[in-house]
Amino acid sequence: MQSRVARLDRFISVRTGINRKHVRLMLAQGRVQVDGVPATDIQQPVGEFSRVLLDGEVLQANTPRYVMLHKPVGVVSATRDTLHKTVIDLLECPDADTLHIVGRLDLNSSGLLLLTNDGRWSRELTSPQSKVSKQYRVTLANPIGEDYVAAFAGGMYFAYEDITTRPAGLRILSERVAEVTLVEGRYHQIKRMFGRFRNPVLALHRHAIGNLALDPNLEPGQSRELTCQEVRSIAGKVPAN
């Protein structure tokens, strides 16, 4: 997802159709405001959430949005789909179609799914360098062996992508239930990792991303906006409450 940054004179010219020479004059005359401050520098960067006014008229006023959804099984993590209901269909806000998904869940997985219109935030959460953890509760068809723990921690080679998975945590909670912690999101990663032991995944539920846990008050299909503290603390920069 791109977070768009443009030069102020270009931005105004594209938005209004006024040629750049005239835009520069308008800037010099103090007719433009960016985030409440008169702007005169033609090179001033305009981000996707900068509020830009020309002669008091709003040219751009996007609000960053951050939503947590309790994704139910059977709903697809996509913005459009011809067969299934999508996670966007579940959101009640009018601008739902401006949001994108931060780290998908499979059709038959459930749990915490984040959506935003802030490309910089979603990139930060999903980039391999940031190593934001994701926690899943996994129910399996067969008993889980102690030997799984070392195999998950040691990484598994996936020939199709020619990669070795990063060390993953596995905590055995009961005979057929485990908590798995990943710092990446390869295609069907957990199912494929348990597949190495010929142990099919029966249910997969993501309950946390970084410092953020799925709100227990959200029923499957329900969503809510994140608080400012949650937005800032999720990647572990500020301790969550």
Out of 81, 106, 124, 184, the residue judged to bind ligand URA by CB under 6 A? 106
Q: Which is nearer to ligand URA, 99 or 193 (CB)?
A: 193
138 binds ligand URA (CB under 6 A): no
First to last CA, the chain: 29
Task: Give the span between the Cα atoms of 197 and 62, in whole angstroms.
Answer: 48
190 binds ligand URA (CB under 6 A): yes
Residue 69: phi and psi, rounded to 5, are -125, 140
Residue 115 CB neighbours (<10 A): 25
126 binds ligand URA (CB under 6 A): no
Cα pseudo-dihedral 191, 84, 89, 203, rounded to 10: -30
Q: Which is nearer to ligand URA, 47 or 185 (CB)?
A: 185
DSSP SS3 for 154: helix
Residue 46 CB neighbours (<10 A): 23
**Residue 106 is a catalytic residue:** yes
Q: Which is nearer to ligand URA, 59 or 138 (CB)?
A: 138
Tell me how far, at minimum, the Cβ of 165 lies from ligand URA, in Å.
Answer: 11
Residue 9: phi and psi, rounded to 5, are -65, -40
DSSP string, 30-43: T-EEETTEE---TT
Tell me how far, at minimum, the Cβ of 105 lies from ligand URA, in Å.
Answer: 4
Active-site entry in 106, 147, 162, 215? 106
Tell me how far, at minimum, the Cβ of 73 lies from ligand URA, in Å.
Answer: 10
109 binds ligand URA (CB under 6 A): yes
226 binds ligand URA (CB under 6 A): no
Out of 34, 204, 212, 226, the residue judged to bind ligand URA by CB under 6 A? 204
184 binds ligand URA (CB under 6 A): no
User: Which helix (DSSP H) or strand (DSSP E) does residue 12 occupy?
Assistant: helix 8-16
196 binds ligand URA (CB under 6 A): no
Cβ atoms of residues 229 and 240 within 8 Å: yes
Out of 34, 91, 105, 170, the residue judged to bind ligand URA by CB under 6 A? 105
Cite the active site residues. Answer: 106
Please give the residue ranges that form the binding site for ligand URA (CB under 6 A): 105-106, 109, 188-191, 204
